[in-house]
Amino acid sequence: MSLSDVQLGVAGLAHVIAGVALLREPTAFLRVVQPVLTLIEKETQLRPYSGNNQALALVGVLSFAIGAQYILSVYTLDEKAKRNSTPGRLLFAATCFYVSKKTPHGSSLLALFGIFSFFSGLFMGFTVGFGDGNAVDLEEQARLEQIRNEQAREAARALQQASASSVQEPAAASSSKKDE
């Protein structure tokens, strides 16, 4: 298990736990993260979260779905999904920052989600790279081409050795007849 698998698994587990907590008891979740929210509000002058529990339940469903996808990516060893999670997290963090600072809908809770997403995206980026996950297809295609080329070279070598040995056998047989 690689470091990227561990990171994606931990991020997935955190999303699943947060999702379940938001679905079961949104106010309890807010109480748990309240010290961090207060610090964010104090440092950034963002307003506290003022939405209702239905909005938090929707966030819980989405968080659970993201976490489940991350965990399944680790389970299935899906390299493409691992690489695609990095830009997704960074894009989500940038969106959270924009909504928090540039619109009246920002809140400290949204900023907290953005901060978590930003740092988990950075850590994942340093592990698997910041590139596009679609490069995995190109890498696999190049690896398969290399394997095919090696197999073709081995087959050509075997064919060449077989033809060389078949040429030597009749020559050896004709020289033994001359000796008699």
User: Greater confidence, 153 or 2?
Assistant: 153
Asked whether the whole model's pTM tops 0.85, one would answer: no
Q: Which two tokens stand for residue 109?
A: 């809770």
What local confidence, expressed as pLDDT, does residue 169 receive? 63
Hey, which of 82-91, 122-131, 170-179 has the most confident mean pLDDT? 82-91
What local confidence, expressed as pLDDT, does residue 137 receive? 66
What local confidence, expressed as pLDDT, does residue 150 receive? 92
How does pLDDT run across 4-58, given as a tens digit for each residue?
Answer: 788 888 888 998 999 999 899 988 888 888 999 899 888 888 888 888 888 888 8
What local confidence, expressed as pLDDT, does residue 30 receive? 87
Task: Give yes or no for residue 143 having a pLDDT over 70.
Answer: yes
User: Greater confidence, 137 or 47?
Assistant: 47
What local confidence, expressed as pLDDT, does residue 58 receive? 87
Mean pLDDT calculated for residue range 143-152: 90
Q: Which two tokens stand for residue 57?
A: 């339940």
DSSP H helix total and E strand total for the chain = 6, 0
What local confidence, expressed as pLDDT, does residue 20 receive? 93
How does pLDDT run across 69-109, given as a tens digit for each residue?
Answer: 889 888 888 777 777 777 888 888 898 888 888 888 778 88
Mean pLDDT calculated for residue range 101-128: 83
23-60 in b/e burial notation, b at 16+ Cβ within 10 A? beebeebbeebeeebeebbeeeebeebeeeeeebeebb
What local confidence, expressed as pLDDT, does residue 16 receive? 93
Q: Position of tokens 């679609």?
A: 134
What local confidence, expressed as pLDDT, does residue 66 receive? 87
Q: How far is CA 30 from CA 27, 36, 41, in A?
A: 5, 10, 14
Q: Which two tokens stand for residue 86?
A: 């990095």
Domain boundaries, the chain: 3-133, 134-180
